[in-house]
Amino acid sequence: MSTHIAVVASLGLALFLSPETFVLGFVIASDRKAPKRAAWAYAAGGVLGILFSFGIGMLLATETSIGTGSAATTEGHVWRKFLVHAVLATVLLVIGVRRAIAAFTEEPFREPEEEKRTSRLWAAFKSRFPSFAHLLDPASDLPMNEIALRGALAGFAVCGLHPKIFPVAIAAGHQIEEMHAHLRPLGALVFILLGAGATFVPAILETLRPGSAGTAKETIERLMKVYGRTAIALLLIGVGLHMARRAWELYPG
């Protein structure tokens, strides 16, 4: 129990400390018309995004554990479990090492809009779906009824689809499926509370201190630059090594 909960909590904490989640949340909470509405919608979308990627991890683990009883089928599922663990371990280690390098070299954070400007995928999306791209752009002046939708979509995208967050949530879902059935609700609750916790910080701050999103964003960025990346790197590398050891144990060769 302690090992499973520790692994899931480490993955959730890595998401909680992710600068991408915080920075985009404070950008959304800086909306000129309805910052509180936008911030809470962002939090709700973040929870849905976490559940989406987390659920994929659970389905992936469930599929690899189903068998018909024949020796060939059993061996095939053992190989699939090994490959899933090996792939997830590799991805976590790569992300963890990348975070460590960014912390060591003091690589500057890239604002969400800066990432979009340099993204070929975003440029193609914007040219193909200009109306939807306008809705997703935090700089767009939208009607009140569309502000919450933009916040929710941004939260879902960063927590459910971001390449540095999506694999971590999948790994957590996969890890929880390896727990005993009576421990899974506790493991899921721990991960969701930690993983989606960062999306609620801008909303809570904007509710308690309206207009504080801009100042808080700068403070969070400074803290993340000094401590966040290092902590995330240690957490992900530790879990990646744990999953690599588990993959070695499952290796059927």
Q: Mean of the pLDDT values across residues 25-48? A: 88
Give percent of the chain with pLDDT exceeding 70: 78
| Structure-token pair, residue 11 | 């993955």
Higher pLDDT, 25 or 1: 25
pLDDT at 253: 66
Higher pLDDT, 97 or 103: 97
- Per the rule left: phi > 0, alpha: psi between -120 and 50, beta: everything else, 69 is left
Q: Mean of the pLDDT values across residues 137-166? A: 82
Whether the per-residue pLDDT at 72 is higher than 90: the answer is no
pLDDT at 105: 81
Q: How far apart are CA 106 and CA 90, in angstroms?
A: 24
Phi/psi for 31 (5° steps) reads: -55, 135
Q: Mean of the pLDDT values across residues 102-128? A: 63
pLDDT at 66: 45
Q: Mean of the pLDDT values across residues 63-92? A: 70
pLDDT at 144: 79
Whether the per-residue pLDDT at 64 is higher than 60: the answer is no
Phi/psi for 212 (5° steps) reads: -90, 0
pLDDT confidence bin for 42, thresholds 50/70/90: very high
Sole residue written with tokens 């950008």: 27
pLDDT at 65: 45
pLDDT at 73: 56
| Structure-token pair, residue 122 | 């975003």
Tell me: the pLDDT tens digits for 200-229? 998 998 888 887 776 777 777 777 777 888
pLDDT at 76: 65
pLDDT at 26: 87
Phi/psi for 34 (5° steps) reads: -140, 70
| Structure-token pair, residue 247 | 């993959």
For the chain, the three-class secondary structure string (H helix, E strand, C coil) is CHHHHHHHHHHHHHHHCCHHHHHHHHHHCCCCCCHHHHHHHHHHHHHHHHHHHHHHHHHHHHHHCCCCCCHHHHHHHHHHHHHHHHHHHHHHHHHHHHHHHHHHHCCCCCCHHHHHHCCHHHHHHHHHCHHHHHHHCCCCCCCHHHHHHHHHHHHHHHHHCCCCCHHHHHHHHHHHHCCCHHHHHHHHHHHHHHHCHHHHHHHHHHHHCCCCHHHHHHHHHHHHHHHHHHHHHHHHHHHHHHHHHHHHHHCCC
pLDDT confidence bin for 238, thresholds 50/70/90: very high
pLDDT confidence bin for 13, thresholds 50/70/90: very high
From residue 242, give the alpha-carbon distance in Å to each of 77, 86, 163.
Answer: 21, 11, 21
